């Protein structure tokens, strides 16, 4: 049937089950927004304060729901404002389809108003980019883009439509096609045929699995790493089965949060630079290290050459290019974490490793001291005790991020939403909005610091306008805490440009946006504030005044072995 090209865009989004779009309109994307107006009862559009906020929101929506996020922006500055959000999604393998419009064909490449080569700019930070010049390609390209974003190792893709392609008088042939059929038609079919792959992941190599089974049988001190791949493939149950059958300690990376129960007796906590003593000691002493869906980043393998030096390292990943990239491994299995772990679980008996576990768990951290001044620990403990256990936590980046991940227990994939790879300050509020809109029944906490909050705090306008009940918790230490900590430990206490003692009044700022806020300085006030926030049912900002010199512990310096703790 013949329909408007812009109508085909909406129909293709509906084919994918898209119900929410985050975005910001502008000149070149006017036609698409005009169509969106007609589809407003089928597709909800959230107008953010800034394109970056929209990008993070789409990302947060994707991470928390496991579905593909969608984000719209106009050409030029609209498109470039997305880039930090695109890169954040790319580094953390989050599936988001970004749709931008560009100038008309006749002005392409002539530096027209608000023109930028966004497909060129986005190339290094996306799985694929598409420049749509022929309106008839729209259905095919959108279908391909969604498939590419979601399949295998997920990630963002960008579709850039020339304005003339979206002309309201442009009619194209469109045949509705159920999502399952997409791979058998058009470009996707060509792509599959040429590369010889399928949208459903092929089975992992059976011999490779057998080899791991054998390595397990010979291991006396096995250890597991739960990486982001476990979360992305929703393989948490299979992973848990493996850990329990193996009776092996489990370290969880930042991206792996939610892949294995945080309070499970086998959990050693985070690994690497701010890893627990148990995790890092286990890693250094194990004889078999099975890493699932992790890429041994420099924050985990701070010293890649000496990482897990006594162990045979087995890497299970969906991305072949990750094998031997950062850490040299002894064996690898390529496949979807869930499928691989199922196969492994079916082939191994249950083991017991009491002595090994005793060694690992003998490295317990000492309990934090109580204090009259509010401590990060008290803030986190209060939240943990009062919020439901399935509360979704979205964080920004820095000390508060590490504290939150160390302290909270995440039990299911999508419960922790954090910018692990790219370390994007200002990620949290947008991500929390996306998470709340994707999970209206769950409590959503936005953990942030005074530095991060100021980066994208204007999204409080969006939170307020759409009445998105997020609880923002600001750790206000009046400094860029993590950088301050490094300066204190490694730069002789020369606090160059990290003093933030000139922040606005966050409570008043929240109120200016129409959001209730409260400043707390001790345990009792904190408890009251959380009670009030939970009862209110609308957005709420809690500003927690903490000491400037609070540190994230333990800490290993960049480039040093993970057992050389700079801070205990």
Partner 1 sequence: MESKEHTLSILVENTPGVLSQVSRLFSRKGYNIDSIASGATEDPKVTRITIVMNGDDATIEQLAAQLRKLLCVISVKVLSTEDAVQRELVLVKVKAETKDKRDEVLQIVSVFRASVVDISRETLTISILGDENKAGALMDLLADFGLMEVVRTGIIAIERGVRTIYEDTKESGEFNYGKNVL
Partner 2 sequence: MTQTISVLVENRAGVLNRITGLFSRRAFNIESLAVGVTDDKNISRITIIVDSGNNVVEQVEKQLNKLVDVIKVRTLDEKKLIGRELIIVKVSTSTKTRQDVANLCQIMGAKIADISSTTMTLELSDTPDRVDLFESLLRPFSILEVARTGVIAVQKGSGKI
The nearer residue to partner 2, 89 or 103, going by C-beta atoms, is: 103
Could you count the other beta carbons within 10 Å of the beta carbon of residue 549? 11
Q: Pick what 27 binds: partner 2, partner 1, none; C-beta below 5 to 8 Å, kind-dependent.
A: none
Per annotation, catalytic residue among 113, 179, 310, 528: 113
Please give the sequence-ordered ranges of beta strands (E in DSSP) within 266-345, or none if there are none.
267-270, 288-292, 312-317, 331-334
State in angstroms the smallest separation of the CB of 129 from partner 2.
Answer: 10
Q: Pick what 155 binds: partner 2, partner 1, none; C-beta below 5 to 8 Å, kind-dependent.
A: partner 1
Could you count the other beta carbons within 10 Å of the beta carbon of residue 142? 24
3-class DSSP state of 215:
helix
Q: How far is CA 557 from CA 139, 143, 213, 360, 565, in A?
A: 50, 45, 35, 22, 7
Q: Pick what 298 binds: partner 2, partner 1, none; C-beta below 5 to 8 Å, kind-dependent.
A: none
The nearer residue to partner 2, 110 or 364, going by C-beta atoms, is: 110
3-class DSSP state of 159:
strand
State in angstroms the smallest separation of the CB of 123 from partner 2.
Answer: 9
Binding site for partner 1 (CB under 8 A): 119-120, 123-124, 127-129, 131, 148, 151-153, 155, 191, 194-199, 201-202, 205, 318-321, 323-325, 334-335
Cβ-contact 318, 229 below 8 angstroms: yes
Q: Pick what 196 binds: partner 1, partner 2, none; C-beta below 5 to 8 Å, kind-dependent.
A: partner 1
Cβ-contact 247, 351 below 8 angstroms: yes
CA–CA dist 184, 230 (Å, integer): 29
Q: Is 113 a catalytic residue?
A: yes
Q: Is 114 a catalytic residue?
A: yes
Per annotation, catalytic residue among 127, 163, 221, 357: 163
The nearer residue to partner 1, 87 or 431, going by C-beta atoms, is: 87
Q: What angle do CA 98, 103, 104 make, to 5 degrees?
A: 120
State in angstroms the smallest separation of the CB of 133 from partner 2.
Answer: 6
Binding site for partner 2 (CB under 8 A): 108-110, 117, 119-120, 131, 133
The nearer residue to partner 2, 109 or 196, going by C-beta atoms, is: 109
Q: Is 51 a catalytic residue?
A: yes
HSE, side-chain direction, 13 A CA sphere, residue 502: 3
Could you count the other beta carbons within 10 Å of the beta carbon of residue 468? 22
Residue 366 DSSP label: P
The nearer residue to partner 1, 205 or 557, going by C-beta atoms, is: 205
Q: Pick what 124 binds: partner 1, partner 2, none; C-beta below 5 to 8 Å, kind-dependent.
A: partner 1
User: Counting every residue, how long is the chain?
Assistant: 568
Q: Are strands 222-226 and 288-292 parallel, antiparallel or unpaired?
A: parallel
Q: Pick what 108 binds: partner 1, partner 2, none; C-beta below 5 to 8 Å, kind-dependent.
A: partner 2
CA–CA dist 248, 267 (Å, integer): 9
Q: Is 52 a catalytic residue?
A: no
Q: Pick what 195 binds: partner 1, partner 2, none; C-beta below 5 to 8 Å, kind-dependent.
A: partner 1
Q: Is 366 a catalytic residue?
A: no
DSSP 330-352: SEEEES-HHHHHHHHHHH-----
3-class DSSP state of 224:
strand
The nearer residue to partner 2, 144 or 303, going by C-beta atoms, is: 144
The nearer residue to partner 2, 83 or 406, going by C-beta atoms, is: 83
State in angstroms the smallest separation of the CB of 224 from partner 1.
Answer: 22
Residues with a known catalytic role: 51, 113-114, 163, 482
């Amino acid at each position: 049937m013949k329909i408007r090209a812009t109508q085909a865009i909406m129909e293709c989004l509906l084919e994918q089950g898209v119900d929410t779009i985050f975005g910001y309109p502008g000149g070149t994307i006017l036609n698409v927004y005009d169509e969106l107006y007609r589809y407003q009862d089928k597709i909800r559009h959230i107008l953010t304060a800034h394109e970056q906020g929209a990008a993070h929101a789409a990302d947060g929506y994707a991470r928390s729901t496991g579905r593909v996020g969608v984000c719209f922006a106009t050409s030029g500055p609209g498109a470039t404002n997305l880039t930090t959000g695109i890169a954040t999604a790319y580094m953390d393998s989050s599936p988001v389809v970004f749709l931008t419009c560009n100038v008309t064909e006749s002005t392409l490449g002539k530096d027209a108003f608000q023109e930028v080569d966004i497909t060129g700019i986005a190339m290094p930070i996306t799985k694929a980019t598409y420049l749509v010049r022929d309106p008839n390609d729209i259905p095919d390209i959108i279908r391909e883009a969604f498939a590419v974003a979601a399949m295998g190792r997920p990630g963002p893709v960008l579709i850039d439509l020339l304005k003339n392609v979206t002309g309201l008088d442009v009619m194209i042939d469109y045949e509705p096609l159920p999502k399952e059929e997409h791979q058998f038609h058009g470009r996707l079919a060509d792509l599959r045929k040429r590369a010889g792959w399928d949208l459903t992941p092929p089975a992992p190599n059976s011999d490779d699995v057998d080899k791991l089974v054998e390595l397990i049988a010979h291991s006396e001190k096995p250890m597991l790493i739960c990486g982001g791949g476990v979360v992305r493939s929703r393989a948490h149950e299979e992973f848990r089965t493996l850990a329990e059958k193996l009776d092996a300690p489990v370290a969880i990376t930042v991206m792996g949060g939610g892949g294995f129960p945080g309070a499970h007796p086998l959990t050693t906590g985070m690994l690497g630079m701010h890893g627990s003593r148990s995790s890092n000691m286990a890693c250094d002493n194990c004889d078999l290290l099975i890493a699932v869906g992790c890429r041994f980043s420099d924050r985990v393998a701070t010293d890649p050459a000496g990482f897990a030096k006594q162990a045979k390292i087995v890497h299970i990943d969906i991305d072949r290019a990750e094998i031997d990239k950062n850490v040299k491994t002894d064996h690898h299995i390529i496949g979807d974490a869930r499928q691989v772990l199922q196969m492994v679980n079916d082939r191994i008996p249950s083991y017991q490793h009491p002595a090994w576990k005793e060694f690992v768990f003998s490295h317990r951290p000492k309990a934090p001291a109580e204090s009259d001044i509010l401590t990060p620990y008290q803030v986190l403990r209060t939240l943990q005790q009062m919020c439901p256990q399935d509360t979704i936590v979205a964080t920004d980046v820095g000390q508060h991020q590490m504290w939150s991940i160390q302290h909270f227990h995440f039990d299911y994939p999508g419960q922790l939403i954090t910018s692990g790879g790219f370390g994007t300050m200002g990620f949290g509020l947008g991500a929390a909005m996306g998470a709340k809109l994707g999970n209206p029944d769950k409590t959503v906490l936005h953990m942030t610091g005074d530095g991060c909050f100021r980066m994208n705090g204007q999204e409080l306008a969006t939170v307020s306008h759409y009445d998105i009940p997020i609880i923002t918790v600001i750790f206000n230490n009046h400094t860029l805490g993590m950088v301050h900590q490094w300066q204190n430990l490694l730069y002789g206490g020369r606090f160059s440009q990290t003093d933030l003692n000139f922040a606005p009044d966050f409570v008043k700022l929240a109120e200016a946006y129409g959001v209730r806020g409260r400043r707390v300085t001790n345990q009792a006030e904190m408890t009251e504030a959380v009670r009030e926030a939970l009862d209110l049912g609308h957005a709420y900002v809690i500003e927690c005044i903490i000491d400037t010199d609070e540190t994230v512990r333990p800490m290993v310096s960049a480039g040093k072995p993970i057992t050389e703790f700079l801070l205990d």
